[in-house]
Chains A and B, each alone.
Chain A
Amino acid sequence: MTRLAESAVDDTATQLARRAGAGDRVAQRELFHALKPCLHATLYRVLGSNAQMEDLLQDTFIEVYRALPSYRGDAKLSTWADRIAVRVAYRYFKRERAARRVAPAEPALSLVSGSEDEMLHREGVRRLYAVLAALKPESRIAFALFTVDGRSLREVADLTGATLVATKSRIWRARRELNAAAKADGILARYLDGAEL
């Protein structure tokens, strides 16, 4: 897509956001469907499953609509909305920890495949998120966005509202915990090794 076409798409998104922010119900519905895939993908990477997804998506969308009047089009709409999703996930993790209800996030591994590699991969993912669930929310989110979702360090810092140094430190802490867990867990070690995490 040319730069001009890309800019036209951005303009369309900004206009849509403006209309939605002004209370245009049709625009709000369009925006809902436009943001569905990216917000779900971001939250899924952070949470590792769909277990609490409905509630968190609901909270995210409500915050997105309430914040729309402040959206000026400086960032891509999807990036701006992703920041809100990350904040919602962060608050959820904080509440979860405070309530001492840390249920290991379980990826919904329902796509069936018979190969042993696939089974080990899924089990590795499950164990990865189980270790992440015990970390501080900041580290958990930064690691998931950087390493699992493959975003750049700068983008993770931007989404989490942290400095680059703090972001690096959070990822490093998560990696340290994972490496320690992997020493006693062959499946996790194999997954981390294969995934170059």
Chain B
Amino acid sequence: MDRRAAKPAIEPLSQRSWQRIETRVFAELEQPARPPAPSTGRPALALGVAGLALAASLFALLQNLAGLPAPEQEKSAPPAPAAALAPASSPTAGQPTAAQSAVPPQLERTPSAPPLTPHFVTTSGSAEAQLGDSRVRIAAQSDVRIEGSDAEGWRVLLEQGEVSCEVAPRGSRPPFVVSAGDVAVRVVGTRFAVTRRASGTRVQVETGHVQVEHAGASVLVGPGQSWPAHAALERTRLPRPRLAAPDAQREFERAAQLESSDPARSLAIYQRLSRGRGGWSANALYARARLLLDDGQSGAARTLLNRYLNKYPTGANAADARRLLESLAPPDRTAQ
């Protein structure tokens, strides 16, 4: 095995992830620039501020050493995350086979950035999150974000994969909601599972009732029932998107790496891949168009982008392809 073959495959980010990043980045750029640090040009004042900060730190340290509480610090500190995560009791439990990542709440963020939410990504194993008195089991190969608290209500954002929830009766407390794309599942106290794949979202209720909201309509789903009713049939008929040929993915990654160092070779690989079938073929077709556009071959890029949109109108890169096509419009249409 050579060094290249041993490289771990790069797991692509979902289209939704990219959209989220893009939205946050450009929201941040819209913010007015932050004022410069007071230290510039005011050395005496800066020294004074630094001295005060040092004194405060020493005071806090002495308080800690003496076992005294630091009430101000407690007030300003973010609340401890109420969601606790543990590997599920499965045959692989106890081994680090499930990748979990609860975002540390104390990470520095820019003031305008949206609040951080615990983000769980599982790989080959499953995991469990305890949300107050409710429990969420996250299946392998899932991507889940969790917002809220027991007092404010919980919101589980299922990006991909499957969650099984055991929700304690909410009583008069705010609801427990699972969101999977444009489907929202509102719960008062029950056991149910939500699955989200490329083929769609499915809700299966074990006990109790849940309210499924989708496209402006609301449906009550009872014990032993599924939503939509024909979901099971759909799921078995449609191929699982993650079973892509690893060779095609490796080739795609190789081409992506060569984009800047050897664009001609990269284009050739993309072209070969785009003649095939499946997700990587679609990605390669889009990448080829993008690379040609970078090379100034806007006519060829436009043809490929149109071909991509004709073949894959809801493909992972469809929104990007439309955006690029718009950027290729005549100057009088794009002029600000």
Contacts and interface: CB of A to CB of B under 8 A. Distances in A.
Interface of A: 1, 5-6, 8-9, 12-13, 25-26, 28-30, 32-34, 36-38, 40-41, 44-45, 48-55, 57-58, 61-62, 65, 76, 78-79, 95-96, 99, 101, 103-104, 106-113, 118, 121-122, 125-126, 130, 147-150, 191, 194-197
Contact of B6 (A57, A95, A194): A194
Contact of A51 (B101, B116, B242): B101
A111 B244 contact: yes
Contacts of B272: none
Contacts of A194: 1, 6
Instruction: Please give me the 10 A-B residue pairs with the lowest Cβ-Cβ distance, nearest first.
Output: A106-B99, A195-B6, A51-B101, A108-B11, A125-B8, A194-B1, A110-B141, A1-B264, A61-B25, A44-B10
A195 B101 contact: no
A125 B6 CA distance: 9
B13 to A, nearest CB: 6
B99 A108 contact: yes
B295 A57 contact: no
Nearest to B8: A125
Interface stretch (B16-24, B165-173, B197-205): B16-24
B101 A52 contact: yes
B135 interface: no
Interface stretch (B214-222, B302-310, B319-327): B319-327
Contacts of B119: 51-52, 54
Interface residues of B, number: 63
Given A99-B106, A196-B1, 17 more contacts: A9-B294, A9-B295, A12-B294, A12-B296, A29-B26, A29-B323, A33-B290, A33-B324, A44-B11, A49-B11, A50-B11, A65-B25, A95-B107, A103-B100, A107-B123, A126-B96, A147-B3
B259 interface: yes
B336 to A, nearest CB: 8
A111 B18 contact: no
Contacts of A65: 25, 29
Nearest to B255: A37
Q: Which of A58, A61, A118 has the most B CB atoms < 10 Å from its CB?
A: A58
A85 B264 CA distance: 26
A62 B21 CA distance: 10
Contacts of B101: 49, 51-52, 103, 106
B99 A49 contact: yes
Chain A interface secondary structure, helix, strand, loop or mixed? helix
Contacts of B108: 95
B246 interface: yes
Contacts of B242: 110-112
28 contacts: A9-B263, A9-B294, A28-B26, A37-B287, A38-B256, A41-B10, A41-B253, A44-B10, A49-B11, A49-B123, A50-B13, A50-B17, A51-B99, A55-B103, A55-B116, A57-B13, A57-B21, A58-B28, A96-B104, A108-B11, A108-B99, A110-B11, A110-B141, A118-B246, A122-B124, A150-B7, A195-B3, A196-B1
Contact of A54 (B8, B21, B246, B324): B21
B289 to A, nearest CB: 12
Interface of B: 1-4, 6-11, 13, 17-18, 20-22, 24-26, 28-29, 96, 98-101, 103-104, 106-108, 110, 113, 116, 119, 121, 123-124, 141, 242-244, 246, 249, 253, 256-257, 259-260, 262-264, 287, 290, 294-296, 320, 323-324, 327, 334, 336
Q: Which of B13, B264, B287 has the most A CB atoms < 10 Å from its CB?
A: B13
A197 to B, nearest CB: 7
Nearest to A118: B246
Given A36-B18, A58-B113, A101 B104 contact: yes
A115 B9 CA distance: 15
Nearest to A13: B294
Contacts of B107: 55, 95
B190 to A, nearest CB: 29
A62 B29 contact: yes
B24 A191 contact: no
Contacts of B244: 111
B260 A76 contact: yes
B121 A109 contact: no
Q: Which of A25, A34, A108, A125 has the most B CB atoms < 10 Å from its CB?
A: A108
Contact of A62 (B6, B98, B110): B110
Contact of B8 (A13, A76, A103, A107): A107
Nearest to B4: A150
A53 B159 CA distance: 14
B334 A53 contact: no
Contacts of B334: 26
A80 to B, nearest CB: 11
